[in-house]
Homo-oligomer: A and B are copies of this chain.
């Protein structure tokens, strides 16, 4: 246990909470949607805003790093102790698309606090969880009387995470020297629930593709031609239907090559969590579970690879009817990957499968976005134990282990920098990531601040260098 007076941390946070929330709201008002080309200026504005704010926080260095796409923000605050370990915090300042008409109760880019929750696109994913580090490091300094953090602290906040981080690996390779660290802390995940603080030990990877199917050169009359030529909408549906077998396993040949199955110990840890399937279903806004045979819901979302349809479209979708055979149709697919799966291999097997599955007379084009590798941290890693201790002090509860079903470019940091990746996140499943009415619980956000305040001290004093 560190000597940091926890009450001093809490007092500092309480007295700076209002300004912290005002600042966060200002940032959330910038609609930094990386997937929408017309928002490119807003994504740049978000990076500029963050760099300025980090300087104001006290980081001696805070820079906007351009990429071939949207810019990232890098900041650095060295420790006074040259022997202190170096920690790199990862997050992202871009957000998912959001529009009022998708079902938001208020403007997604005009933050509002209702019932102790802050509603806005990016409140939890990921601006809120990036931003708790600003007050966290100040609380750490104030409570310990330091003028610099107990670790060499670096932040890398990218701007294209919600677009699959197409330029992130290049950026990390390009700046590998300045990014060098002993450990990476990813603040872009969640925890089990408001009552059960947890540390995540791994993330699924992600591969995405869009397949466009072409039939007749133009829409043709379904009376004159129906029943005698292939219909690309039917072919699109056939592809999607062929994604899974009758056990809801992905039916693409070679898809499971190399998959690292769960150990018995991991299955036990998952099974020990207070999982209430009815409650989980409410969070999922769904009425039934469905998935790969032989696995629990937690195993399915954390440790099993998936194939999911994110969008499908073709033919006439307006009011009324239009008796056509459409000229084209498209499907957007995403594949969640687990340890042992290689995105390049997935692209290869998906391409082969799609080419095989389509009837004569249907031409197709398939494009893959950039992929994200899966990653996994050993349960017994000493730096992971620091995170668990810091979180335990903030939450005053035992901390358990989860994994994250979502995906992040953490594996690129692990690969390029050659360091372990740890996760510190306070978001909960009901926060509505990528959905309307995304929010963050204010209590938990402030526990995130507190955890960060303790973490630098614990890591600095315990000198958990990377192995």
Contact of A219 with B35 in the complex, beta carbons under 8 Å? no
Contact of A436 with B218 in the complex, beta carbons under 8 Å? yes
Point out the residues of chain B lying under 8 angstroms from A220, CB to CB. Answer: 284-286, 434-435
Asked if A66 CB lies within 8 Å of chain B CBs, one says no
Query: How far is the CB of A190 from the nearest CB of chain B, in Å?
Result: 8
Asked if A345 CB lies within 8 Å of chain B CBs, one says no
A216-B285 contact, Cβ under 8 Å, with A35-B319, A318-B97 = yes
What's the Cα separation between A323 and B42 when bound, in Å? 21
Extra inter-chain contacts (5) besides given A210-B321, A220-B284, A313-B317, CB under 8 Å: A216-B285, A221-B435, A227-B306, A234-B243, A287-B361
Copies of this protein, total: 2
What's the Cα separation between A315 and B190 when bound, in Å? 24
Q: How large, as a class, is the contact surface on chain A?
A: 35 or more
Instruction: Name A's B-contacting residues (CB within 8 A).
Output: 35-37, 96-97, 102-103, 163-164, 190, 204, 206, 208, 210, 215-231, 233-234, 236-244, 281, 284-292, 297, 300-301, 304-306, 308-327, 329-332, 334, 336, 359-361, 363, 369, 404-407, 429, 432-437
Point out the residues of chain B lying under 8 angstroms from A290, CB to CB. Answer: 228-230, 359-361
What's the dominant secondary structure at chain A's contact region? loop
What's the Cα separation between A239 and B434 when bound, in Å? 27
A324-B310 contact, Cβ under 8 Å, with A284-B220, A433-B221 = yes
Query: How far is the CB of A282 from the nearest CB of chain B, in Å?
Result: 9
Point out the residues of chain B lying under 8 angstroms from A326, CB to CB. Answer: 309-311
Point out the residues of chain B lying under 8 angstroms from A360, CB to CB. Answer: 287-288, 290
Query: How far is the CB of A228 from the nearest CB of chain B, in Å?
Result: 4
Query: How far is the CB of A174 from the nearest CB of chain B, in Å?
Result: 24
Contact of B320 with A35 in the complex, beta carbons under 8 Å? yes
